[in-house]
Amino acid sequence: MGASLVGLRDLSAERITALLDHASDLRTRVAGGEARLGVLAGKAVALLFLEPSTRTRFSFEMATHRLGAEVLAFSAASSSTTKGESLADTTRVLASIGADAVVIRHAAVGAPHRLEKVLSIPVINAGDGINEHPTQALLDLLTLRDHLGCLEGKTVAIVGDLRHSRVARSNCFGLTALGARVLLAGPGTLCPPELEGLGAERCHTLDDVLPHADAVMMLRIQRERAGPGTLPSDAEYRRFWGLTGARAARLRAGAVVMHPAPMNRGVEIDDEVADGPRSVIFEQMANGVFVRMAALMEALS
C-alpha cells in the first residue's frame, strides 16, 4: 500500500523535502505543457469533504485529473451519513466499490488517523478540526522555498487565531523540521501554550515580530469554531493584530506575506497588503495543486 499523509507531526525533514522536490518537478512539467500526466490512469480517489472547502477540494480534484485518475466526489447532504452511517462504514463502502485512496476533511480531530487504522487504502488528511492540515503546510513550505530558498535559519511569523488553526500546527511541525525559526503572535486568548512546545517562540505584539520576519503568515480569525463572547470585535482585532499597509511597511526588504485563505479582508489583513507586492497568497493556492499531486502519487504509485 502507498503512503498515507495524516499529518506533518511525524514526518522527517527528508520526507518533507522529497514531497516538496516532487511537487516542484511536477510544476515544471505542467508549465512545460504536460497538462495531463496520466501516471495514475485506472485509479480512483474518493474526496470526502465533511466540512466546507473551496481551495483544498478543487485543488485535489485538479491534481487527480492531472494525474489521470478518477474523482469519486462525495456529498454529505445526499449520502447515507444523513441516515446515521458512521464515517468508518462510509469510507469502507468507498474502498469496497473501488476507491484506491481517500482524501478526508472532517471537523473531528484525529478522524483521518482513525480511518488510517481501519482502511486498507491510503488516507490523506485535508484538514481535521483544529489539529492538522498537512497539504496546506506543504504548499506553504513550497511557496516559502520559492521566495526564500533554503528554510534553515529563516524566520517565519505566524500571526492571529492560533488556537483554532490546523494550518499553524502543521506549519510549526514542517517549518521546525526544516530548520526555520517560528515566531507565534496573537491575542492571549488565542495562543494555546502547547504550540510553544512545538519548538516555536511566543511574541506578544505584531509590531514586535514584523522587523524580524522573512515571512509573515496571517491566519483567519475562525469565528465558527470559537464560543460566543471569546473573540474581540473585528475593529479591535484589526487594531492590534491586523496587517495594515502601515504595519507591512515595517517588514524587511524581501519579506513575503502569506495567508492560507479564505481571508477576512479588513480584519486580519487589509486589501492593500493582500493584493500588494509582498503578497504570495495566490501563489500559495497555485502550489496547492502540485503538492497534492505529489501526495497522491506517493499514496497511489
Interacting residue ranges for ligand CP, rule: CB under 6 A: 53-57, 127, 136, 260-262
* Catalytic option among 66, 105, 163, 278: 105
- Is the separation of the CB atoms in 74 and 104 below 8 Å? no
Nearer to ligand CP, 149 or 262 (CB): 262
Q: Is 9 a catalytic residue?
A: no
Residue holding cell 507586492? 277
Residues 138, 205: contact at Cβ < 8 Å? no
Q: Which is nearer to ligand CP, 134 or 260 (CB)?
A: 260
Q: CB of 127: closest distance to ligand CP in angstroms?
A: 6
Q: Is 56 a catalytic residue?
A: yes
The three cell numbers locating residue 204:
506578544
Of 133, 154, 220, 278, the catalytic one is 133
Respond yes or no on whether the N-terminal peptide bond of residue 262 is cis (omega within 30° of 0).
Answer: yes
Instruction: Kindly list the distances between the CA atom of residue 178 and the CA atoms of 59, 172, 255, 267, in Å, as whole numbers in the listed order.
Output: 25, 10, 18, 31
User: Cα–chain-centroid distance for residue 100?
Assistant: 23
State in angstroms the smallest separation of the CB of 292 from ligand CP: 11
Name the residue nearer to ligand CP (CB basis): 163 or 181: 163
Q: What is the CA radius of gyration of the chain?
A: 19
- Beta-bridge partner residues of 128: 106, 132
Q: How many residues are recorded in the chain?
A: 301
Nearer to ligand CP, 29 or 57 (CB): 57
CB of 289 to ligand CP, least distance (A): 12
Residue 54 is a catalytic residue = no
| 83 in active site | yes
Least separation in angstroms between residue 166's CB and ligand CP is 9
* Residue 278 annotated as catalytic: no
- Report the catalytic residues: 55-56, 83, 105, 133
